[in-house]
């Protein structure tokens, strides 16, 4: 009889622990991924650069450029860059991104 009481007590504790774990996980999930129904306002300091940024993006999309890529010998890493020729200039600006190749 004593053994049956211990099993029931252990089963009750296990069920309570599982229930509490589930409720805690549900609360944390909802807290972390709750839906936001509004877009926060951008600070005026950041907003003043938005128009200039989009002008540069539009310019970059339209300008004539060459896309260059290089890979390491083992092929795990890749370097990507754009070459934009300039008229009457001997100077260069290099904008590049090193990225892992996804296989």
17 or 91, which is more confident: 17
pLDDT higher than threshold 50 for residue 14: yes
In the predicted model, what is the mean pLDDT of residues 32-37? 77
The token pair at 88 is 């009457």
Q: Going by C-beta distance under 8 Å and a sequence separation of 6 or more, which residues neighbour residue 101?
A: 71, 75, 76, 77, 78
Q: What residue ranges do the domains of the chain occupy?
A: 1-37, 64-103
In the predicted model, what is the mean pLDDT of residues 93-100? 65
Q: What is the pLDDT of residues 48-86, one digit of tens each?
A: 888 888 999 999 899 988 888 888 777 777 788 888 888
What pLDDT is attached to residue 103? 46
Nearest to 100, CA basis, from 72, 80, 85, 78: 78
């Amino acid at each position: 009889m004593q053994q049956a009481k211990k099993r029931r007590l252990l089963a009750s504790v296990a069920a309570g622990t599982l229930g509490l774990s589930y409720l805690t996980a549900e609360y944390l999930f909802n807290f972390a991924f709750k839906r936001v129904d509004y877009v926060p306002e951008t600070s005026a300091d950041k907003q003043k650069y938005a128009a200039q940024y989009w002008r540069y993006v539009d310019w970059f999309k339209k300008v004539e450029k060459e896309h260059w890529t290089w890979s390491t010998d083992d092929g795990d890493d890749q370097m990507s860059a754009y070459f934009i020729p300039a008229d009457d200039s001997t100077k260069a600006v290099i904008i590049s991104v090193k990225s892992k190749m996804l296989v």
